[in-house]
Structure 1
Amino acid sequence: MPNQKDSNIEDFAFDYLKSHYSTLYSTKGILISKAEKTKLHGTADGIFALKKPDNTLFIASLNVSQSQQLARLLNRYKKNGLSKFRFVTALIAFAATTFFTRSLGYGILSWVIPVAATLVIFVTHSLLERSYLKHKVEKLLNIFKAQPADEQWLGISISSLAFRHNSLAKHLLNLCERRGIGLITVGKRAKVVQLKDPRTNTCHKGDFVSHYVTEAHIRKTLLGGSFLRVA
């Protein structure tokens, strides 16, 4: 078992989701596979495939490859907020506008204009930086477009406490909510926390198993009743 300093979502997510689906569908017949490729050249870090009570096939995908980048973004924002560079650009704007307005003899406006310009630059920089960070988070989640599944999961090695009073983490939760992505985390205490439930997707042509390169193997294994865990 990994120690508290080495808790990694990949070491816990597979067992957690296996237990989750075993309980949910009252079955031990779950095919678990890692680095599963899709027919459109995407790759799911893990999949969980099973046969539901109505004999239809179900597949869930797991992504943990974005864990490090997302954890870095969220922890940095939690600790530092936006960058201090905003103050530098605001100071430069104040100095530049003060110099020009006084040089041109604007009188009292040589005080008003620099202050107004500084506030505008500071607010604009803050909004643009916040928008950029949100875009980075959204871009990392776009990986799920290449991982079709009945349910999709994101796993991050991060303390659930990092989501408190963290607007960037809240944005991630909102994105997961809108896209129907389940979210699980694991912190230093090696405790898996489920922050978001996934939404079950609808496959309009057959089932999601048909999207994977090993479709024939998955169908044979599940329909034949032989269940293996594949590394």
Structure 2
Amino acid sequence: MPVQRESDINDFAYDYLRKHYITHLGVKNVQVNRAEKTKRGHTLDGLFSLRITPDKLFVASLHTNSSKQITSILLKYKKNGLSKLRYVTALSLFITISLITWKFAGATLVLAILTGLGMATTGFVLHTVLDKQNRFRKISNLVDALKLTPANEQWLGLSISSLAFRNNSLANKLLELCERRGIGLITVGKRVKVVIIKEPRPQTCQQGDFLTHYEAEQQIRKALLGDSYLRVA
């Protein structure tokens, strides 16, 4: 029996979010653009633009490019935990420190063993902390890309089952990061079930709207505003 693979978030997120905004914001038309660029040259995977009032536009961004990298880190951690090298580090420290303390420092064998155990424990804990921090740093660096594509709402899309977030402290760290930065998280797993893990926190553009940041601004405005945009232009 073939192994069932995770579904690709790119096959489902666009239509799902388009319907999401139609339902939740009560609009009929959501302009969906893929592989759009900001005027500063940064690329995002999906841009959702809609008109929520006669003179107000709403923009949402979707990032799926880092899905494989982030899901790989999360799934490996859930399956295998942290690196087994921690045990090698602890054993190496125990042997080395015990021998040095016993043979060269003139300590008794018991004292040498206790000293070695103390250093081994310290090394194990330190390696554990650094290993987890390193994995989270990689995820955080990938999420940082969302800062470069401003929008009223930002979404991170992952091709991963929502079950991968259960009993996964690294996944919880990702959720905390998304919470702090106001990023929404949407996933799709093997059963083609799209799940909103975390809702985004809406942002307000200080001047005008966020569409001004994108190269396709004029085309999207024409598509959303129609004759009213042409009269102003």
Structure-2-length-normalised TM-score: 0.93
- Which residue of structure 1 aligns with residue 214 of structure 2? 212
Match of 2:225 among 205, 210, 223: 223
Runs of 4+ more than 2 Å apart = none
Is 1:141 matched up with 2:143? yes
- Which residue of structure 2 aligns with residue 191 of structure 1? 193
Letter in 1 for 2:78: K
Post-superposition offset of 1:5: 3.1
Letter in 2 for 1:200: P
Show the 5 A alignment for 1:8-19: 8-19=8-19
Checking the alignment, whether the CA contact within 8 Å between 1:29 and 1:225 is kept in structure 2 is no
**Structure 2: stretches of 5+ with no match in the other structure:** 229-233
Checking the alignment, whether the CA contact within 8 Å between 1:183 and 1:197 is kept in structure 2 is yes
Mean Cα deviation higher: 210-219 or 101-110 = 101-110
Post-superposition offset of 1:99: 1.2
Residues 145 and 120 (structure 1 numbering): CA distance in 2 closer, same or farther, change over 3 Å? same
**CA-to-partner distance for each residue in 1:15-51, whole Å, 9 max, x for gaps?**
1000000111222211100000001111110011010
Post-superposition offset of 1:165: 0.4
Post-superposition offset of 1:130: 0.9
- Which residue of structure 1 aligns with residue 85 of structure 2? 85
Q: Comparing both chains, which one has the higher relative contact order based on Cα–Cα distances under 8 Å and sequence gaps of 6 or more? A: 1
- Which residue of structure 1 aligns with residue 123 of structure 2? 121
Checking the alignment, whether the CA contact within 8 Å between 1:86 and 1:126 is kept in structure 2 is yes
Residues 178 and 6 (structure 1 numbering): CA distance in 2 closer, same or farther, change over 3 Å? closer
**Structure 1: stretches of 5+ with no match in the other structure:** 227-231
Question: Partners of 1:160 and 1:17 in 2: how far apart?
Answer: 17
Question: Partners of 1:204 and 1:24 in 2: how far apart?
Answer: 24
Is 1:106 matched up with 2:107? yes
Question: Partners of 2:67 and 2:54 in 1: how far apart?
Answer: 35
- Which residue of structure 2 aligns with residue 229 of structure 1? none
Aligned residue pairs, count:
224
Letter in 1 for 2:26: S
Question: Partners of 2:205 and 2:96 in 1: how far apart?
Answer: 58
Query: Aligned with 1:45: secondary structure?
Result: strand
Mean Cα deviation higher: 101-110 or 184-193 = 101-110
Post-superposition offset of 1:134: 1.2
Mean Cα deviation higher: 12-21 or 96-105 = 96-105
Question: Partners of 2:152 and 2:215 in 1: how far apart?
Answer: 16
Show the 5 A alignment for 1:35-184: 35-104=35-104, 105-107=106-108, 108-184=110-186
Mean Cα deviation higher: 84-93 or 105-114 = 105-114
Question: Partners of 1:118 and 1:24 in 2: how far apart?
Answer: 55
Post-superposition offset of 1:6: 5.5
Query: Aligned with 1:5: secondary structure?
Result: coil
Is 1:33 matched up with 2:33? yes
**CA-to-partner distance for each residue in 1:85-107, whole Å, 9 max, x for gaps?**
00001111011111111112211
| CA RMSD between the two structures | 1.6
